[in-house]
Chains A and B, each alone.
Chain A
Amino acid sequence: DAGVTQSPTHLIKTRGQQVTLRCSPKSGHDTVSWYQQALGQGPQFIFQYYEEEERQRGNFPDRFSGHQFPNYSSELNVNALLLGDSALYLCASSLGGALFYEQYFGPGTRLTVT
């Protein structure tokens, strides 16, 4: 049973560019959440997708956008990259209907903005 997978593993971009990160949820899961983890800090919630719609959003600017596909996989897009966007981006999947869910995390994508 494959767990949560993310691609790419590492990415280097230049300020002002755009980036797309990808996530495939654990088999059977229908909800995908994205988190940003800056170096030495805890993960910060970006947004969550369920049934192809953004269900909840954290305190991140509109430069951060996402998408969920019919197969439940998801993309995170970041436009106009800033140096401060350098971080580990984590994807987590879960079951949308569960009252007390468990989120399973992927290994993350390390984004470096230069």
Chain B
Amino acid sequence: GDSVTQMEGPVTLSEEAFLTINCTYTATGYPSLFWYVQYPGEGLQLLLKATKADDKGSNKGFEATYRKETTSFHLEKGSVQVSDSAVYFCALSEEGNKLVFGAGTILRVKS
């Protein structure tokens, strides 16, 4: 079945550092790919998405490119802020709108 694997955390960075969170997926077809963010005490929020190969999703300085050849969708940000501290989930959807999530990566940004 479909699955998502993302790098284990926690990831601890200093403010203004470059961020990469790796995500790879397994799917039988051509899924849509997503990054969701969960701030402490809150629900999941969609951060960005890509619906076909080579699409780049971007939002709030975060970017991720749908790489079909490597089945990857790595999340990047050029300069993180303390307010970016949260849990980040990579996810895919292939059948009937069901979302399949990775285990999540905790990001901690120090000032």
Contact = CB atoms under 8 A, between A and B. Distances in A.
Contacts of B102: 42
B96 A108 contact: no
Interface residues of A, number: 27
A68 interface: no
Interface in B87-102: 89, 91, 93, 95-102
- Which of A43, A48, A92, A101 has the largest count of B CB atoms less than 10 A from its CB? A43
B32 interface: yes
A94 B91 CA distance: 16
Contact of A102 (B46, B95, B96, B98): B46
Interface of B: 4, 32, 36, 42-46, 49, 51, 89, 91, 93, 95-104
Interface of A: 4, 31, 33, 35, 40-45, 48, 55-56, 58, 90, 92, 94, 96, 100-108
20 contacts: A4-B43, A31-B97, A41-B104, A42-B101, A43-B44, A43-B89, A45-B98, A45-B100, A48-B98, A56-B98, A58-B98, A90-B44, A94-B97, A100-B49, A101-B93, A102-B49, A103-B97, A105-B43, A107-B42, A107-B43
